[in-house]
Amino acid sequence: MMNYSSVRSEPPDNPAVRAEALNVVRGIRQVLRDLDFTVPRGQVTGLLGPSGCGKSTLMRAIVGTQAKVTGTLDVLDRPAGHPTLRTRIGYVTQAPSVYDDLTIRQNLDYFAAILDPGRGSAERRHTNVTHAIADVDLTSHADALAGNLSGGQRSRVSLAVALLGTPELLVLDEPTVGLDPVLRRDLWNLFHSIAAERGATLLISSHVMDEAERCHRLLLMREGEILADDTPDALRHRTDSETVEAAFLHLVDEAVAAGRKKETTR
Amino acid sequence: MSTTTSTSTTMAPAPTSALNASRTIATAARVLRQLRHDPRTIALMILIPCVMLFLLRYVFDGSQRTFDNIGASLLGIFPLITMFLVTSIATLRERTSGTLERLLAMPLGKADLIAGYALAFGALAIVQSALATGLAVWALGLDVTGSAWLLLLVALLDALLGTALGLFVSAFASSEFQAVQFMPAVIFPQLLLCGLFTPRPNMHPVLEGISNVLPMSYAVDGMNEVLMHTDVTADFIRDVLIVAACALLVLTLGAATLRRRTA
């Protein structure tokens, strides 16, 4: 593996992601409205909200695959989509994006060769691939065709691809959907160890609110807007709720009430 | 709704599209590895042209001359059709499975991806064309005046053209159903007008004019040049250059359809 303790040139308080007046339009629909937020470095930030609220679009904007993005969006001190970011960000889409007609190891070998090409790095690639497969607990299936795996296993292969090349920012779109509780716990432990050991930043989306408790920070989204940007503790405290789920519902009710008020005063 | 004037994110300059040899070869190796897990497709790709030539030989059992004409043309057309089909489905899969988005979010140049595909399918086309040409010339008695190597060269360029067309067309198909339907749409008109059924000068002037701008016409003309002349004629060189230039042009158009940012 690469050394975790590489000295970072930017001060740690410089956020990994900084958005100002961020808007995204898809077709005629405005999917993201005027977002302002930051994602701190070296922490696990959860992006939570109901399905269809714009989580995936926001993630695609951050990794630079979303068209029609306006406003400011800086990722690792570069504008989102900058070519130099391509080796520094690991991205996992919601649907597993791997080749079904290759084995797990062949999938990872190929993506590793794209990230770290050349014959000189063959040995490093091999170690990286072996580690990534072990990280997602698929070593015993390494030579199975991806197409023959279960849904949860395939999404873990997809996750393993993102772990290659030790990225500074990991953007994971619902990585734990459809996984059993043991595996979910293991993956969350893995996420935290990646943040702690490598100093990497993780942005993880989910629509399951109990996963929110495992994050350092939370971005709560609803209908293309950010309802809250805080730590889970502060959120519960501020809304006087027992759980993050209750806090979220409280904030939604507040937002709806505020919306109605705006309607009537117009 | 906000009314603040939003400034567009500064778009990063396009990365240098210079080919990276290792990434290209890695891509080609990956495409071939995918195919290796699908032996039935390989068998179909390689055997069908041979079976068709065999059939054709005995359909024209009484007139060897007709078999010579059509056989040589078909040696150019088979690789084009197969590679068109295989590439359009393969790239469509790449687009719909999310692997294309993932690759383009990685430091992979579009040229690397396209060259990788061209290399992999080119290698397959060499095997396919070598077998078909060998069978036609040595076993079925196809009477070529020129060198069989030139037949192989044209066949290879045709395969490249097929790959290019398939890649380009896959951008306009949103499902495998549509991709397959593009075959009759793109290939059949060229097949009718390429001079396979009747010499192009015998066609209605309008159709002859159209056939003059379709690349398959030059592929078939090139094959016929080899069939009739011992040496490399000026017409042959022109035909080969046109097919190669068309393939490159369409590959470039295909590259333009690979977008890093999509809606």
- Tell me the CA end-to-end span of chain A in Å, nearest whole number: 60
Predicted pLDDT of residue A8: 45
**Residue A3 scores a pLDDT above 70:** no
Q: State the average pLDDT over residues A55-79.
A: 92
Q: Which residue of A has its CA nearest to B94?
A: A99
Does B102 sit within 8 Å of A71, measured CB to CB? no
pTM of the predicted model as reported, rounded to 2 decimal places: 0.85
Predicted pLDDT of residue A202: 94
- Is B39 near chain A, with CB under 8 Å? no
- Is B261 near chain A, with CB under 8 Å? yes
User: Among positive and negative, which fits the CA dihedral A108, A114, A118, A124?
Assistant: negative
In chain A, % of residues over pLDDT 70: 93
User: Among positive and negative, which fits the CA dihedral A37, A41, A47, A52?
Assistant: positive
Mutate to test the interface with B, among A26, A30, A92, A99 (most CBs of B within 10 A): A99
Predicted pLDDT of residue B13: 38
Does B37 sit within 8 Å of A101, measured CB to CB? yes
Pick from A67, A70, A86: which is nearest to B105 by CB?
Answer: A86
Contacts of A20 in chain B (CB under 8 A): none
CA distance A236 to B233: 83
Residues with Cβ within 8 Å of B67's Cβ and at least 6 positions away in sequence, in order, are B56, B57, B60, B140, B142
With b for 16 or more beta-carbon neighbours within 10 A and e for fewer, the B228-263 pattern comes to: eeeeeeeebeebbebbbebbeebbeebbeebebbee
CB contact at 8 A, B219 and B239: yes
- Is B201 near chain A, with CB under 8 Å? no
CB contact at 8 A, B136 and B71: yes
Per-residue pLDDT band for A23 (boundaries 50, 70, 90) equals very high
**Residue A9 scores a pLDDT above 50:** no
Structure tokens that stand for A174 in this block: 């619902």
CA distance A227 to A250: 10
Q: Tell me, what's the ipTM?
A: 0.83
Strand A17-26 to strand A69-75: parallel, antiparallel, or no bridges (unpaired)? Answer: antiparallel
Q: Which residue of A has its CA nearest to B30?
A: A110
Residues B31/B34/B39/B41 CA torsion (nearest 10 deg)? -60
Give the gap in angstroms from C-alpha A89 to the nearest C-alpha of chain B.
8
Q: How far is CA B121 from the centre of its chain?
A: 9
Q: State the average pLDDT over residues A228-256.
A: 88
How many alpha carbons fall within 13 Å on the CB side of residue A251? 25
The tens-digit pLDDT sequence of chain B (263 residues) is: 333 333 333 333 344 456 788 999 999 999 999 999 989 989 998 899 999 899 989 998 888 888 888 888 888 888 899 889 998 999 899 988 889 988 988 889 888 998 899 899 889 888 998 999 999 988 898 888 888 888 889 888 998 899 889 988 988 888 889 988 998 898 999 989 998 888 888 999 999 999 999 999 999 999 889 888 888 889 999 999 999 999 999 988 888 888 888 87
Pick from B8, B15, B263: which is nearest to A83 by CB?
Answer: B15
**Residue A204 scores a pLDDT above 80:** yes
CB contact at 8 A, A114 and A105: no
pLDDT digits (tens, 9 = 90+) for A26-63: 988 899 999 999 999 999 999 998 888 899 999 999 99
Per-residue pLDDT band for A12 (boundaries 50, 70, 90) equals low
DSSP letter (8 states) at residue B109? -
Give the gap in angstroms from C-alpha B107 to the nearest C-alpha of chain A.
5
Predicted pLDDT of residue B2: 37
Contacts of B108 in chain A (CB under 8 A): 114
HEC secondary structure over B38-81: CHHHHHHHHHHHHHHHHHHHHHCCCCHHHHHHHHHHHHHHHHHH
**Residue A10 scores a pLDDT above 80:** no
Taking one residue from A and the other from B, the number of pairs with CB-CB distance under 8 angstroms is 122
Predicted pLDDT of residue B5: 35
Predicted pLDDT of residue A130: 94
Does B262 sit within 8 Å of A66, measured CB to CB? yes
Residues with Cβ within 8 Å of A55's Cβ and at least 6 positions away in sequence, in order, are A47, A48, A49, A173, A205, A207, A221
